[in-house]
Structure 1
Amino acid sequence: MENLEHQRCEPCKGTSQPLSQTEVEELQSQIPSWEAIEEYGELHLQHTYQFPDFKTALKFTQRVGEEAEKEGHHPVLLTEWGKVTVTWWTHAINGLHRNDFIMAAKTDQISKEFE
């Protein structure tokens, strides 16, 4: 199976079902630095990236935003001095979809540009 970061997001309709706990655990093994958290009764994927300063954090935020636009799937981005917290989930289904894991993996790839 193709690595998550090389996959493309698929259009998600509100009739899609959130991933099962088994599916979440299987996909999460491919993005081990990400945490599945429950927020407002929904599962979200979250990870905080560290940077040496605000300028670098802002550039990372911009790159993640560009990839999100390209894939048509958008995160919550909290940019602070020296760090960016990225949260993925699928609003249309109030939970996690395969797209969230694809984008988390793509976000990890983007972070390597800033190492």
Structure 2
Amino acid sequence: MRIRQFGNIYQLAFLPTIFPINCYLVDEGVDLTLIDTGMAFCTKGILQVIKRLNKPLARIALTHPHVDHIGSLDAIKAAFPAAQVYVSRRDAGTPVCNVRRIKRRLKVVLTNMCRLNQTIC
């Protein structure tokens, strides 16, 4: 895993030279927002960085429901059960989202990575 910091945003790149899988942690001050969860094998690395930042994960934003973006969702959500999961209205009804049981009371992800407007679907 390669970690790069851009201000308050941390890019976590898995397999960067083969098939780049990127997740982003946004330091919101008192807590963190995770944008995409990568694949299942990314879980350990994501949790290590969150632990190192020493802040709770409050939000998980999914850009779209491909396996390289949602593969660690269940494990990350289990580690941070209070974290709210956000997904676009369009993707909330996809079979992958239904299987992952995140359709209930999902919220819309807006394009600004640093500030999420909370709109109930």
TM-score (norm 2): 0.25
Bigger helix fraction: 1
Q: Could you tell me the TM-score, scaled by structure 1's length? A: 0.26
| Higher RCO (CA-CA < 8 Å; seq separation 6+) | 1
